[in-house]
Amino acid sequence: MRIRLLAFGPLGSLFPGGGAWREVALGASVADVLTALCSEGSLDRAALGSVAVAVNQEYSRRSRELKDGDEVAILPPVSGGRDDVSLGAGKHPSLALVRGPIDGASIETALKTGADGALCVFDGIVRDNSRGRSTLYLEYEAYEEMALGQIQLLRAEAIQRFGAREASIVHRLGRVEVGETSVFIAVASAHRAAAFDACRWIIDTLKKTVPIWKREYFVDGAVWADGEPFPDGLGQNMR
């Protein structure tokens, strides 16, 4: 049977050009595929302790048995071309990945209603330095379809967990200059505590679970930003 392999961020060179199709044995598992990649030297065994795997755009156990046509993505810890991507008709209009500037003021205006007593905003801005080096600009890459699905889940869980009324989450992709917004989160609620808590939880969880990677460009070179470890159950602990 045939599966499609994808990799992103610092592992993107594994399958350049949008992925690779590969023949695998009937009944092969995710773990079998990872073992084969290590054996042939495509994947460093040391990396297996930190990567997560998604099958058909959902985080998956390594014991999962694959089926013909499955899409298997190898995901390094996240840090969080096509046109701008949103969830589309019938979904939520303010959950999006965009390649142009984020209009935070318009997002705030669209989110507010008369029932709200608080609107909490996180505006993530590209700063001009990182780890003692002067930053020129950043570039963001995403496993786009899966990233949108994870963002949708974040919104739904934040509303349920904290009692917020609504939330908007917009993230830039591609090149982002110093001083520009890379991620914008707004949470509306009847009470300030729910808005504060939900906004903080969304950005903290986004940085660990949404498949977006950041490359930092400096005067003397470029590096992929170290991602935060996957939560238990997504990375090496998800067997």
- pLDDT digit string, tens, across residues 192-204: 999 999 999 999 9
Q: How do residues 146-194 score in pLDDT, each as one tens digit?
A: 999 999 999 999 999 999 999 999 999 999 999 999 999 999 999 999 9
Residue 233 has pLDDT above 70, yes or no: no
* 69 shares a domain with 108: no
- Judge whether residue 93 has pLDDT over 60: no
Say yes or no to pLDDT of 91 above 80: no
Q: What is the pLDDT of residue 128?
A: 94
My answer on whether 116 and 209 are in the same domain is: yes
Instruction: Report if residue 232 sits inside a domain.
Output: no
> Residues 136, 217: one domain?
yes
**Within its chain, how far is the Cα of 128 from the centroid?**
23
pTM value? 0.87
**163 & 219 share domain:** yes
158 lies in some domain: yes
Q: What is the pLDDT of residue 30?
A: 96
Average pLDDT, the chain: 90
Residue-number span of the structural domain to which 184 is assigned: 85-224
94/71 same-domain check: no
